[in-house]
């Protein structure tokens, strides 16, 4: 099935990339730190969220301030189920990406594996996502959440006009293959939006000012890195700031992006790192 993506003719875009629970914490830490310094990115005309970024995109649209969102990252992660990508699963990811020529081919390979993997039930996983979100209603602002079709590997963008419940859209965007179950929407199975690229910043095409938060900065094989996507947006005339984890943040992340216990250290690292980017982001956003 093919989905067309029309360029959004608007001014500012905030792109929130994938990165598991540590990505959620780090992105909120960055956003909180920038807001404390006088630049609030949550007022963007367009927000693009993939996987972790889908959670952050939704929760920053809720009627709650960034200080409270940040404090929530430091609290004990009640209701979360720890996921694990061991060496064997990582090898299967690597083999699939190396043997693929397009993001769609890679997504289809991972989709086939995801459909037969032993994971928690779809209902149990949905309950976790529902509890993680501070609102279950699509916001009024433009919010684009990404997922990948498990059968074809094609990217789909869910928004308030898709007719899809917000919780299902986020669950699909966060459905890490081999760890979490694919999500059923409209009779189709969907997996993690970060499989098409870790940022999907191309969906901000048409915006004049773009900030990209990319907890997972790598590309590889057929997948564009956030830096490559930022370069393409810049070449098209946009002004872009790309923020990726610094050395201290990478250390805080630990070895598992899906470990709930690493969310708080990641959030603190994001808050600390934000200071290094205030000048560039403020100059762009203002």
Active site residues: 51, 192
C-alpha 167/C-alpha 155 separation (Å) is 18
Instruction: Please give the Cα distance from 264 to 29 (Å, whole number).
Output: 9
Residue 249 falls in which region: left (phi positive, over 0), alpha (psi -120 to 50) or beta: alpha
φ and ψ at residue 37, rounded to 5 degrees: -90, 5
Between the alpha carbon of residue 122 and those of residues 36, 75, 147, the distances in Å are 38, 26, 16
Alpha carbons 50 and 57: distance in angstroms, whole number: 9
Give the Cα-Cα-Cα angle 239, 279, 146 (nearest 5 degrees). Answer: 50
Q: Which residues pair with 191 in a beta bridge?
A: 148
**CB 193, CB 176: distance < 8 Å:** no
Closest to 6 measured CA to CA, from 108, 140, 142? 142
Q: Which residues pair with 132 in a beta bridge?
A: none
Could you tell me which residues are beta bridge partners of residue 239? 209
Residue 36 CB contacts under 8 Å (≥ 6 apart), including other chains? 274
Give the whole-angstrom CA distance, residue 210 versus residue 201: 9
């Amino acid at each position: 099935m093919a989905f067309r993506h029309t360029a959004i003719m608007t001014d500012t875009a905030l792109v929130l990339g994938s990165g598991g629970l540590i990505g959620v914490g780090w992105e909120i830490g960055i956003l909180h730190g920038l807001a404390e310094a006088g630049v609030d990115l949550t007022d963007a005309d367009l927000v693009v969220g993939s996987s972790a970024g889908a959670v952050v995109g939704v929760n920053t649209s809720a009627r709650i301030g960034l200080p409270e969102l940040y404090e929530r990252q430091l609290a004990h992660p009640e209701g979360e189920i720890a996921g694990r990508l061991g060496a064997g699963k990582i090898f299967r990811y690597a083999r699939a990406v190396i043997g693929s020529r397009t993001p769609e081919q890679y997504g289809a390979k991972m989709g086939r594996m995801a459909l037969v993997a032993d994971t928690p039930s779809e209902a149990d996983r949905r309950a976790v996502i529902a509890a993680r979100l501070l609102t279950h209603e699509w916001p009024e602002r433009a919010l684009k959440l990404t997922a990948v079709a498990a059968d074809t590997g094609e990217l789909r963008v869910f928004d308030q006009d898709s007719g899809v419940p917000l919780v299902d859209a986020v669950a699909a965007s966060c459905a890490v293959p081999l760890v979490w179950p694919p999500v059923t929407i409209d009779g189709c199975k969907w997996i993690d939006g970060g499989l098409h690229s870790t940022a999907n910043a191309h969906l901000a095409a048409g915006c004049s000012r773009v900030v990209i938060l990319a907890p997972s900065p790598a590309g590889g094989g057929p997948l564009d890195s956030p830096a490559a996507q930022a370069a393409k947006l810049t070449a098209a005339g946009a002004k872009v700031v790309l923020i990726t984890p610094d050395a201290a943040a990478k250390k805080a992340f630990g070895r598992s992006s899906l470990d709930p216990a690493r969310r708080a250290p990641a959030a603190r690292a994001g808050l600390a790192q934000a200071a290094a980017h205030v000048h560039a982001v403020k100059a762009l956003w203002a």
